[in-house]
Amino acid sequence: MVKKELLYEGKAKKMYKTDDPNMIIVEYKNDLTAFNALKKDSIEGKGSLNNAISASLFEYMNENGIPNHFIQKIDDTHQIVKKVRILPVEVVVRNITTGTLCKRLGIEENIRLPRPLIEFYYKNDQLGDPLILEDHAELFGWATKEQISFMKETSLKVNTLMSAYFDTLNIILVDFKLEFGVDANGTILLADEMSPDTCRFWDKTTMKKLDKDRFRKDLGDVLGAYREIWRRISEKEAN
């Protein structure tokens, strides 16, 4: 597959056209941002770790019947995915309270929720991705009622699958963000990435943070945490 012109550059990835109109090539960048890009850095090796981690997790989704955009990893920092139109709605699933949930609502940190909490955010950098209701998404045409139901159901299934998977790696899946897109046939698919940039992972024994919170909160050794996630995933794959 030939990498052609740049279609779009995001904060952590670049999307390129290919010779197939239904496929694009994603390049995972070393750039890291937080707080709507107010905080920025670049960490050598982050892109290739996220490419590998995301590819493995999408493969796991494929094995478990979660329709998604992933086709194939092609090298260290690139993967081929189905071309989709990303819906401007981000879905966050939370198992344990932390992050903006605690800040926004004054909720205590580190409480395991009796069931997963699903939140929708409007994907709009200028507005800082505000929290929205399902009704906003439907009434303003960001997603249909059916797409919203699909996103909720699928996000819960992904949570069950990912929580079980990471449990075997001695990692707690605290929360994560998903994005969905619509392909050329109008089919809705899980898209974007699944990585320590978009999930919170805590070591079950030490509670050490193994994700982008190390960057957001200046905890140090960001790359070491991403490497640790990849080490545990790749060891599991080798068995």
The least distance separating ligand TMP from the CB of residue 216, rounded to whole angstroms, comes to 8
Give yes or no for residue 92 binding ligand TMP (CB under 6 A).
yes
Q: Are 88 and 167 in contact (CB under 8 A)?
A: no
Pairing status of strand 13-17 against strand 112-122: unpaired
Give yes or no for residue 176 binding ligand TMP (CB under 6 A).
yes
The least distance separating ligand TMP from the CB of residue 25, rounded to whole angstroms, comes to 22
Give the nearer residue to ligand TMP in terms of CB position, either 67 or 99. 99
Residues 6+ apart with CB under 8 A from 74: 1, 25, 80
Binding mask 93-122 for ligand TMP (x = CB under 6 A): ------xxx---------------------
| Integer Cα distance of 40 and 68 in angstroms | 29
* Residue 216: how many other CB atoms lie within 10 Å: 16
- Which amino acid, 220? G
Q: Choose which of 29, 200, 209, 214 interacts with ligand TMP (CB under 6 A).
A: 200
Give the nearer residue to ligand TMP in terms of CB position, either 128 or 187. 128
Give yes or no for residue 177 binding ligand TMP (CB under 6 A).
yes
